[in-house]
Structure 1
Amino acid sequence: MTKAGDLYGQSLYDLAAEENLTDDILGEMEAVKGIFKENPDYVALLSEPSVPKNERLQLVDESLGSSLTPYHLNFIKILIEKGLLREYSACYKRFRKSYNEAHKIAEAVVTTAVALSDTQLLQLKEKLEKISGKTVLLEQKTDPDILGGVRVDLEGQLFDGSIKGRLSELRRKVDETVI
């Protein structure tokens, strides 16, 4: 994350927590992040210094004003005024991290060669919640290169039970023995 993204994202989180709006603003940020990702030209327009600042702020009011809390709308306007709108994603990440810490939520990415069933995902989620002592938000990815098994990244801690991971470990041990 960038320094600006960290600073601004944490500031918005602190304000949202004071006003008891963390759930609302988190949901809004996820939606706005999606809008910005799907419409990079819109972000470019809002960041373009040749377009007068008041016109860019009016565009935000017209397009997002009715669907955002005033705090979040003003936050976006501040980013535009400071020329930092491209840091919005980093602000979201910092906000999300603070939200997760406050609500004892852990994010995990599970990677398998083929998609897991809903039952398997639920069982894995329950196991990870026991390990972490937190509520787990599980994101599933598929990667045929891991051949089989499961690889889980839980808040930066890697649990590699994939065939590819086991083969790599075996190869490393053989190399150490031979050398």
Structure 2
Amino acid sequence: MTKAGDLYGQSLYDLAAEENLTDDILGEMEAVKGIFKENPDYVTLLSEPSVPKKERLQLVDEALGESLTPYHLNFIKILIEKGLLREYSACYNRFRKNYNETHGIAEAFVTTAVTLSDSQLATLKEKLEKISGKKVLLQQKTDPDILGGVRVDLEGQLFDGTVKGRLSELRKKVDDVVI
């Protein structure tokens, strides 16, 4: 995470908390982050110094002005004025981290060879909530290379129950015995 992203994200979070808008602004930030990711040319245009600042700010007003809280809209304008719009994702990450800490939320990234069913996800989420003592937000991705099983990253703690992980452990044990 960049220093500017940390500072600006922290500042926006502090303001949102003061104004009791953390839920609203977090939702908006997720939407804007998605827009920026899907439209990198738009971010390039808003960051382009050869385009007058006034025009870039007007473009943001026209595109996002109706859908964002004034604090969030002004935040984006400040990033544009300071030439830091590309730090938006880092700002979001800092905001999200603070939000999660304040609300007792842990993020977990689940990797499986095949997509888990809703009931499997619910069971996994329940177990992770017992382990962490927090409400867990699960993000799932599939990776056929793990062959089978589940790998979970819960706030930096890795639980590897994959076939690939077990085979790797066996390989290490065999190498230790042979050598």
What is the TM-score when the length of structure 2 is the normalising length? 0.98
2:90 is aligned to: 90
Within the alignment, does 1:167 sit opposite 2:167 as a pair? Answer: yes
For residues 111-130 of structure 1, what are the structure 2 equivalents within 5 Å?
111-130=111-130
Distance in 2 (CA, whole Å) between partners of 1:118 and 1:24 is 27
2:43 is aligned to: 43
Q: CA RMSD, aligned part only? A: 0.7
Q: Following TM superposition, by how much is the alpha carbon of 1:173 offset from its aligned partner in structure 2, in angstroms?
A: 1.3
Within the alignment, does 1:64 sit opposite 2:64 as a pair? Answer: yes
Which runs of no fewer than 5 residues in structure 2 stay unpaired? Answer: none
Which runs of no fewer than 5 residues in structure 1 stay unpaired? Answer: none
3-state SS, counterpart of residue 67 of structure 1? coil
2:75 is aligned to: 75
1:151 is aligned to: 151
Distance in 2 (CA, whole Å) between partners of 1:38 and 1:150 is 29
Q: Following TM superposition, by how much is the alpha carbon of 1:125 offset from its aligned partner in structure 2, in angstroms?
A: 0.2
3-state SS, counterpart of residue 66 of structure 1? coil
3-state SS, counterpart of residue 50 of structure 1? coil
Overall identity of the aligned pairs, in %: 89
- Higher alpha-carbon deviation: 57-66 or 126-135: 57-66
Q: Which portions of structure 1, spanning 4 or more consecutive aligned residues, are displaced by more than 2 angstroms?
A: none
3-state SS, counterpart of residue 173 of structure 1? helix
Distance in 1 (CA, whole Å) between partners of 2:177 and 2:106 is 38
2:8 is aligned to: 8
The amino acid of 2:88's aligned partner reads Y
Distance in 2 (CA, whole Å) between partners of 1:94 and 1:127 is 27
Deviations 1:49-96 (A, max 9, x none): 001111111111111111110100000000000000000011001100
